[in-house]
Amino acid sequence: MTENAKSATYIGILLLKDPRQVVRQGVRAEIETCCQAGPFKEGREGPVKDEERTNFINEQEFCVYFWSIVQDLFSDAERFSSIAGEMFSVACTIFQQLRNSRWDGLTLNTYAYDWKSRLLSHNHVELVGHSQENFILFGYAALLIMCITFIKEDNHTLPSLAYV
């Protein structure tokens, strides 16, 4: 297993599968902060000044790396639905940042269709008197709303979202 694959596995465990909410929240906060903070120089905390811009990782590269991890976690989210809130929060932040940076790897129509399909196939049982937030429903709905908004902003045709 490569170092990147190991890192992705550990991040997935800490962000989605760890039963300790404080751990998931900490990982979420760190990822979201880095996605929104701009370029970082290796081995240094905080934004890089213009005169220091050598050997740095920009926010788009950071977000692209974590987007690939989050996309792999979508398939596991259903099994960890009661604790998937932090993963979906990170997904929304990264998706927004990639959109803001105009990354050409966002396949909006594909995402819209996939997230619509996942929403429609999601089963959730609620017990009377037991309120539990449905992170799968809220997470995919938030992503789908953002995706449709981006498609409309680009004046592209919306994919068929009808349930067949």
Instruction: For the chain, give percent helix, strand, coil, nearest 5.
Output: 65, 0, 30
Spatial CA neighbour of 59 closest among 75, 47, 77, 43: 47
CB atoms within 10 A of CB 103: 14
Is residue 115's pLDDT more than 90? Answer: yes
Domain ranges of the chain: 3-153
Is the pLDDT at 164 greater than 60? The verdict is: no
93-97, 100-104, 128-132 — which is least confidently predicted?
Answer: 128-132
- Assess whether pLDDT exceeds 80 at residue 112: yes
Structure tokens at 161: 């979202």
Which residue, chain included where needed, has tokens 């997904």?
Answer: 91
Q: Is 118 helix (H, G, I), strand (E, B) or coil?
A: helix
Tens of pLDDT, residues 96-106: 999 998 898 99
The pLDDT of residue 86: 96
User: Is 136 in contact with 81 (CB distance < 8 Å)?
Assistant: yes
Residue type, 133: E
pLDDT in tens, 29-59: 999 988 876 555 454 455 555 555 555 667 8
